[in-house]
Amino acid sequence: MSVINKYGSEMLESYTNDPQGRYVSLLLVRRIESEAIFRTEGSGEAQNKEFVHAGLKDQSLIRRVVISKRKQTAAERRTGRELLRRHELLYEGEAGRGLCALNTNNPCGECIDCMLYGYAVGGGGAQKSRVITDDAFSLHPASVVTDVRTFNAPFEDGTPWDREREQRMTGLGGDEYVKPEAVFMEIETLKDVTPDELWYVLGNVLRTNRYGAISSRIGKVKNLLVGLAFSDCELFSNLELTQAVYDRLQGDADELEFPLETKAVVAAAQEAAQVLSQRVVGRVTWMSEDDVAALVDELIALYSDDRGIEAMLERISY
């Protein structure tokens, strides 16, 4: 029996248009495993950053790097849509405009991606996203986890020498990047989902491993599922979680060490989440650590079996 069946009463048996107020919160640690760039648009733009308090206890102001909510879900949606395309579960959008596609104003309004992550059509029809996200904040200050990489653009022979003009290219550029082993805290919330929809979103999260700009060469990220909660309301914010974890890891030290051991971050995140949930005005049930580990193992087994994936996707209907 799947571990998810133990918590089946916390989710819906089938999709409904009527909000039921059943929430599943994924407690994630996003660990950067290569250089990464999180900015709005364009080369040379600065990283997205915000001034916030360091912790809930430590009220000093620091500047943190931010991964915007759209940058997170966009990458995860693409992972899911690859799966749907492979199993021919993306449908025709508006007449004559081809298959359902992102950022083309051509949603089909029928596929799993549309019905989970939402869509809107100018001429009518819409689905509000049931995957609720927020900006993710770096655990450390931006001054600790960022640096600048200077680069040039060599010619085809691999040198910066322009043979036609017989001169050396002098143009240099620079990109600010997030260092490997920087950590971002995240609560990703699912509303009114079925067990199979939960499997689908979890697969998207844990199988997505590149985020941000220039993701074909950098932006490698390891997503760790370290907790899962069922509730009748949303829990705390990503910022509050980040600040609570910061306080626990800093302790009495003047500064937070960098890089941090992953085990220490995971333990602090689990402890902080448990404490913060005690102040939530609502019912909260946390999945045990053993069950979370078993859930990840089941997910690995599921996604290694094409027939199992196909059966899971076919069970999701609207």
pLDDT tens digits, residue range 38-64?
A: 887 655 567 899 999 999 999 999 999
Whether 70 and 244 have beta carbons less than 8 Å apart is answered as no
Count the neighbouring beta carbons within 10 Å of the beta carbon of residue 236.
18
For residue 227, the cross-strand partners are 27
Residue 84 in any domain: the answer is no
DSSP 181: T
Q: Residue 155 falls within a domain, yes or no?
A: no
Q: How far apart are CA 206 and CA 212, in angstroms?
A: 16
As a whole number, mean pLDDT of residues 282-298 equals: 96
How many whole angstroms separate alpha carbon 268 and alpha carbon 249? 7
Decide if 193 is inside a domain: yes
Q: Is residue 58 part of a domain?
A: yes
Q: Is residue 111 part of a domain?
A: no
Query: What total of structural domains would you count in the chain?
Result: 1
Give the residue numbers spanning the domain of 65: 9-69+128-145+180-315
Q: What is the mean pLDDT of residues 142-159?
A: 71
Tell me if 59 is assigned to some domain: yes
- 93-97, 158-162, 228-232: range with lowest mean pLDDT: 158-162
Task: Tell me the pairing of strands 173-178 and 146-151.
Answer: antiparallel
Distance between CA atoms of residues 105 and 94, nearest Å: 9
pLDDT of residue 154: 56
C-alpha gyration radius of the chain:
22
| Predicted local distance difference test score (pLDDT) of residue 266 | 98
| 311 assigned to some structural domain | yes
pLDDT higher than threshold 90 for residue 308? yes
pLDDT (average), residues 198-218: 91
273 vs 78: CA distance, rounded Å: 29
CA distance 31 to 184: 6
Cis peptide before 259 (omega within 30 of 0): yes
Q: What span, in angstroms and rounded, lies between the C-alpha atoms of 94 and 84?
A: 19
Average pLDDT in the chain: 89
Q: Per the domain annotation, does 2 fall within a domain?
A: no
Per-residue pLDDT tens over the stretch 118-136 = 988 755 678 899 999 999 9
145, burial (CB in 10 Å: exposed 0-12, middle 13-18, buried 19+): buried
State both tokens at 163. 């043979």
Predicted confidence (pLDDT) at residue 95 exceeds the cutoff of 70: no
pLDDT at 252: 78
Which of 116, 141, 139, 169 is CA-nearest to residue 29? 139
Which of the four pLDDT bands, split at 50, 70 and 90, describes residue 30?
Answer: very high
